[in-house]
Amino acid sequence: MINNKLCLSPDIFSKKIEMKFMRDGFGHGLLEAGEKDERIVALTADLKESTKVNYFAEKFLERFIEVGVAEQNLVTIASGMANYGKIPFATSYAIFSPGRNWEQIRTTIGISAYPVKIIGAQSGLNIGHYGVTHQALEDIALMRVIPNMNVIVPSDYLEAKKATIEMAKIMEPFYMRLPRIDSPVYTTEKTSFKIGKANVLTESKKPEVTIIATGLMVYEALLAYKELEKNGIETIVINLHTIKPLDEETIIRYAKLTGAVVTIEEHQVIGGLGSAVSECLSKNFPVPMEILGVQDMFGQSGKPKDLFKEYGLTREDIEKAVKKVIARKNA
């Protein structure tokens, strides 16, 4: 059953479920945080409207900087502002930031742990027709390897808004990745959100598999859960919105409970969510595990739904992985 303590949307499995952009969640969250703290500033690399930092810029023009197409400058300017007491949010497409400016992030932000919030929009396969050159599938790996860096991957509009507000309060560097497309708003204002603490979305008396998902794939995991339940297979679905710091306690607890794990992410399987979970369990409680994601390949142009199907990121793929890992567990 759905975990009622989280106060998820009553329309969670309905066709009436609201669809909204996570980018808007970020933009609205930044505006709200900026109204409460005048230290917050925003910078972008010629992508004000696309990354939704325009909401902030329209109200606080004196606290907004347009650096142009210069992503290295974007983060080094942000670093300097953080050094003098500001809380900068630096936005661009994920393929450019952190894709193009990783060394500047590492050196000018990571080493000194300056509280710069790096927002990588238009990430993943879902940007569709933009194609392989713009599909950031490596950004989680790039950012979680930097010491001092926190990594957030929200799963709907409200979670992106809450994450933005919470990041602004923490004087540490953050990276948050955001997709291009709209997605179901399955949480509510009452749904708890805490950086570093996973949300366990479902409950079961006899679960056989733990499904751990992040970003857009969380809702796909919920759809798989519902279908598997119809077929007598009970699962636990975990929204791991914080990739770093990793909620190892929750991961280990449910690995022990079910004895098998499936992870899914819209990212390379190398270095992302699946890698982080695998590293945790290999040290603490090894169990049979299936890692769904992009299997060491580049993306391509296409409609998001077609690309998800092509790369094995659908409800049906999760169901197959669950059945496969159960067979491995019982072998």
Q: What is the pLDDT of residues 236-270, one digit of tens each?
A: 999 999 999 999 999 999 999 999 999 999 999 99
Instruction: Compute CA distances 239 → 154, 191, 210, 215, 324, whole Å.
Output: 9, 12, 11, 8, 21
Query: What's the one-letter identity of residue 233?
Result: I
In this predicted model, what pLDDT tens digit does every residue of 26-66 receive, in sequence order? Answer: 999 999 999 999 999 999 999 999 999 999 999 999 999 99
pLDDT-derived band at 291, boundaries 50, 70, 90: very high
pLDDT-derived band at 144, boundaries 50, 70, 90: very high
Catalytic residues: 71
Question: Percent of the chain at pLDDT above 90?
Answer: 99
* Mean local confidence (pLDDT), 116-124: 97
* Mean local confidence (pLDDT), 123-148: 96
Question: Percent of the chain at pLDDT above 70?
Answer: 100
Same fold, 4-13+193-330 and 19-183: yes
Residue with tokens 């894709």: 99
pLDDT-derived band at 235, boundaries 50, 70, 90: very high
pLDDT-derived band at 145, boundaries 50, 70, 90: very high
* Mean local confidence (pLDDT), 153-158: 98
Q: What pLDDT is stored for residue 46 in this prediction? A: 96
pLDDT-derived band at 81, boundaries 50, 70, 90: very high
314 and 308 Cβ atoms separated by less than 8 Å: yes
Does 4-13+193-330 carry CATH code 3.40.50.1220?
A: no
Dist CA 275 CA 196 (whole Å): 17
Q: What pLDDT is stored for residue 92 in this prediction? A: 98
pTM recorded for the entire structure: 0.97
Q: What pLDDT is stored for residue 146 in this prediction? A: 98
* Mean local confidence (pLDDT), 86-105: 98
Q: What is the mean pLDDT of the chain?
A: 98
pLDDT-derived band at 112, boundaries 50, 70, 90: very high
Residue with tokens 């325009």: 54
* Mean local confidence (pLDDT), 91-101: 98
The domain segmentation of the chain, as residue ranges, is: 4-13+193-330, 19-183
**Residues with Cβ within 8 Å of residue 280, at least 6 apart in sequence:** 246, 248, 251, 252
Q: What pLDDT is stored for residue 246 in this prediction? A: 98
Q: What pLDDT is stored for residue 269 in this prediction? A: 98
Q: What is the DSSP letter of 107?
A: I
pLDDT-derived band at 69, boundaries 50, 70, 90: very high
Dist CA 2 CA 230 (whole Å): 14
Sheet holding 150-152, edge to edge: 64-66, 40-44, 87-93, 117-121, 174-177, 150-152, 242-244
CATH number, span 19-183: 3.40.50.970
Q: Give the 3-state secondary structure of residue 190.
A: coil
Q: What pLDDT is stored for residue 192 in this prediction? A: 97
Q: What pLDDT is stored for residue 313 in this prediction? A: 98
